[in-house]
Structure 1
Amino acid sequence: MGINNLLKFMKPYVESVHIKKYAGKRVGIDAYSWLHKGAYSCSMELCLNMEGDKKFQYLNYFTHRINLLRHHKITPVVVFDGGNIPCKAATEEERHRRRKANRDMAMEKLKAGDANAASEIFQRAVSITPLMAHQLVQILRSENIEFVVAPYEADAQLAYLSTLKAEEGGIAAVISEDSDLLAYSCPAQIIFKMDRYGNGEEIILDKVLNAVGCVPSFQKFDESLFTGMCILAGCDFLPSVPGIGIAKAYNLVSKFHNLDRVLSTLKFEKGRQMPEDYPKAFKEAVAVFRHARIYDANLKRLKHLKPLTPELLQRQDEELDFLGPDLPPSLATAIAEGNIDPSTMEAFDHIPQFRNHHPTILGSPNRHLRQDATALSPQESCFTVISCHKISKQRIKGNLSGVPSTRRVLTNTLEKRKLKPTTEEVLHSNETLALEKLAFPISNEASKENKKVTNGIFLDIPNNNPFKKRKLGEVILGQADEVVQQSSEVIEIENSEIMFVTTESQESVKSKPFNISQRHSRNKSEKKLNKDHSQCSETKKNSILNFFSRV
């Protein structure tokens, strides 16, 4: 994503900054960069298409940062990516292949019982879809937060907005994770790696090109040469020639100060390692970074980021499709307003919406900032399927059909997570049940010690009987009569054998009901002893009288 190793190479020009620096200004946001970061916390739920609110944590992530900007009196302007540019097709295909491979690998790890490894791999397998972006668009629209869907690349749209004045809809800074903004010659201040508290790293291209005494030095570079260096290092539109990285690209451009001479030198040095069509693809990549199609909200139509050069003007409209095909004004406006899927050109009204989810309302930014960002809390693992929101039922969809469904109460899990259960979770297959057990990282020993009863109702019986210990997990409501009967038998045993209980054992029990029974039994035993003693003395007396009577 972006130019290979560019930000690391530009480290001498990076300055620490806090977002409050832009209070009272308009700041652009690369929406997909935040969506990708937010999706890491629920990557498994998204990849497995689990139902429930857990997989919408990426929306909580996004809205928390929107509220952070609003708290600091910043006006957010959210920009979404649109359709794919033709010259980016190879990159998108490769990314899709890697995501699929990572998903397959994560599923293998999950089935093998390694949930931690599976979670990390799922983060590399998750993909942000236009439908997910539209879910965020609905929230932004309900809160009157300004947004626009770019016809193609959001970076180009952000670079265009940076050239406008505030009253024309322009922005003073951009928050992004994509270094492509530098290749687009974005004049605004660019903030990378912004954390949840508003701290980030800032780079200003104008300072980079005019800095004195910094290494690497760009004093003899202009915007076109800087863009050419970025393309040589490798970008989304064109992979680099083998052996050419950002440092080598910088050395070549700073040595020749001419992109055509750089290409000639590469052809001579690399020979067959350099593809035959590389010079043509290189020039087209330069044209995309300089003249990409963007949406003009004032004119309600598409136009180029910068005016076309005479060489490009000589081409037919069809020959400029590598910049992004031109669109009718009505279609471009519908895409920009978030009403049409930019990939399929279908209206979102005809696409099934997510179920069982209530969009997160932003409300007061101060109120949300006082909360401890539940979406980012380390106590909430990304494997949690049960949510704090009230949902009737949650289902995990498995690939196996026809397998008998299994029902179980997740009371133990809820107790471990201190969540209030609202209903049961329904699982559809034995494979899914195994996945769920992996998704809830609770030890088997702890789960065995917990109480398990039907309908989630526990029978409260004290576990303080030293004579007969019983497993509470085996007690269910249907056996209540048997439990009472067994308890009465135990009490009878206690009453009959209480005389043989030592003082130490009585003190170890420390049970009030048992102490009462002790005292009661002790009184009965004393009465019985007295009675036996009196009977014995009377018998002796009667025997003496009988002896004298016979005499």
Structure 2
Amino acid sequence: MGIQGLTKLLADAAPGSMKENKFENYFGRKIAVDASMHIYSFLVVVGRQGDQLLTSEAGDVTSFVFEGKPPELKRAELAKRSTKKEEATTELEAAKEAGNQEDVEKYSKRAVKVTRQHNEECKQLLRLMGVPVVEAPGEAEAQCAQLCKEDLVYGISTEDMDSLTFGTPRLIRHLMAPASQKLDAMEFDHAKVLEELGLSEQEFIDVCILCGCDYTPKISGIGPTRALALIKKHGSIEKALESLDPSKYTIPEPFPYQEARQLFKQPDVLRGEAIPALKWSAPDKDGVIQFLVHEKSFNEERVRKALDRIAAAKGKASQGRLESFFGPAKIVSSTSGKRKEPEAAKGKGGKAGAAKKGKLGAMGKKK
């Protein structure tokens, strides 16, 4: 779920913290990828089309971070998601019986569930390909944020906005989107978020909790704009709750905002020397062929061509879209149409945020 409505709030109240960048602006950058968020972009063993599968021409510039054990506070949210998956599965079977192809497609997407086996097979393939893998003890987005805080990567690639709540210096959305979608990357700068909102780190965390996050239920009637106003006026959730009219607002029970705040401030992550080296190694070609061709029934010629592309890309400070190895090469045109940030498109500040563009190379030394 992430943080409800945060993208639009930032577009309205902190447009300078957001900017669009062409995909190629990130060539040569070290990026940590939230694998849990992008799992279907590279999980080659679960029925995806060939031109949507994982590999990368990134050389040694990308690492993939996998989820560990979710916090206890997330149990209620995960239970809700599981229930929705079950309902979607029921609807899918009904649509199949009725021969309603439109509903079949709709509920097929909703019913998809990533299993432990999917994750393990994905890690296996990545390692065979020589891609750095980080297994987080807890939330993947928190671990990605830690990698960025420790200056091991330039930024993190995820669609989940709570990475900002975990304090990542830079969050990059749409970086793993298929080239066919023609989406520019949207980069968020954490320091500018705090500066433009006029908040401390803890106050920003409190705003995010009031917006609605994975760890606490939402207070009905309080959206992102109201949440920001309450924290700017009162400085904390404690004082904000005291100010609410009980006849208008019902505080959920339980509402473990203090525990949620602590999870965002001190998440369960690997730090310092406990973090594995984020360096690409030579792919194990025989191992990849054994896994994909002999165990997963992939076309051998196609896999060998993919491996040739990996070999050709070694040593290059460039990165191709992830599906490029298993599909035809795609050319990113510099004249391709602009796109608006989906959540922020209607916000009065959305355009301002997108208007400020620039090459990342001018921002300092590449990581």
Following TM superposition, by how much is the alpha carbon of 1:196 offset from its aligned partner in structure 2, in angstroms? Answer: 2.5
Which amino acid counterpart does residue 190 of structure 1 have in structure 2?
L
* Contact kept? 1:175, 1:191, Cα under 8 Å: yes
State the secondary structure of the residue aligned to 2:32.
strand
Aligned to 2:32: 28
Which amino acid counterpart does residue 35 of structure 2 have in structure 1?
A
Aligned to 2:279: none
Which structure features the higher share of helix residues? 1
Pick closer, same or farther for the CA change 1:286–1:245 going to 2, 3 Å: same
Which amino acid counterpart does residue 193 of structure 1 have in structure 2?
H
Cα deviation digits, residues 350-393 of structure 1 (max 9, x gap)? xxxx954349574224688796964999xxxxxxxxxxxxxxxx
Aligned residues between the structures: 292
Compare CA radii of gyration and give the structure with the larger one: 1
Counterparts of 1:121 and 1:251 in 2: how far apart (Å)? 38
**Unaligned ranges ≥5, structure 2:** 277-293, 314-319, 331-367
Pick closer, same or farther for the CA change 1:182–1:292 going to 2, 3 Å: same
Question: How do residues 245-260 of structure 1 correspond to structure 2 at under 5 angstroms?
Answer: 245-260=223-238
Aligned to 2:338: none
Aligned to 1:81: 67
Task: Provide the TM-score with structure 1 as the length reference.
Answer: 0.49
* Contact kept? 1:267, 1:274, Cα under 8 Å: no
The alignment status of 1:286 with 2:261, answered yes or no, reads yes
**Unaligned ranges ≥5, structure 1:** 40-52, 212-217, 301-332, 334-353, 378-551
Following TM superposition, by how much is the alpha carbon of 1:109 offset from its aligned partner in structure 2, in angstroms? Answer: 0.8
Following TM superposition, by how much is the alpha carbon of 1:22 offset from its aligned partner in structure 2, in angstroms? Answer: 3.1
Q: Match for 1:357 among 283, 289, 297?
A: 297
Following TM superposition, by how much is the alpha carbon of 1:190 offset from its aligned partner in structure 2, in angstroms? Answer: 1.1
Counterparts of 2:126 and 2:83 in 1: how far apart (Å)? 32
Which amino acid counterpart does residue 173 of structure 2 have in structure 1?
F
Q: Match for 1:193 among 174, 187, 204?
A: 174
Pick closer, same or farther for the CA change 1:99–1:32 going to 2, 3 Å: same
The alignment status of 1:236 with 2:224, answered yes or no, reads no
The alignment status of 1:208 with 2:208, answered yes or no, reads no
Aligned to 2:205: 227
Aligned to 1:274: 251
Pick closer, same or farther for the CA change 1:299–1:82 going to 2, 3 Å: closer
Counterparts of 1:10 and 1:90 in 2: how far apart (Å)? 27
Counterparts of 1:371 and 1:95 in 2: how far apart (Å)? 31
Q: Match for 1:175 among 151, 157, 179?
A: 157
Aligned to 1:308: none
Q: State the percentage of identical aligned residues.
A: 23
Counterparts of 2:91 and 2:233 in 1: how far apart (Å)? 45
Task: Provide the TM-score with structure 2 as the length reference.
Answer: 0.71
Alignment RMSD: 3.0
Question: How do residues 36-51 of structure 1 correspond to structure 2 at under 5 angstroms?
Answer: 36=40
Following TM superposition, by how much is the alpha carbon of 1:156 offset from its aligned partner in structure 2, in angstroms? Answer: 0.9
Counterparts of 2:216 and 2:328 in 1: how far apart (Å)? 37
Aligned to 1:9: 9
State the secondary structure of the residue aligned to 1:57.
coil
State the secondary structure of the residue aligned to 2:269.
strand
Cα deviation digits, residues 285-310 of structure 1 (max 9, x gap)? 0000011111236147xxxxxxxxxx
The alignment status of 1:118 with 2:104, answered yes or no, reads yes
* Contact kept? 1:266, 1:274, Cα under 8 Å: no
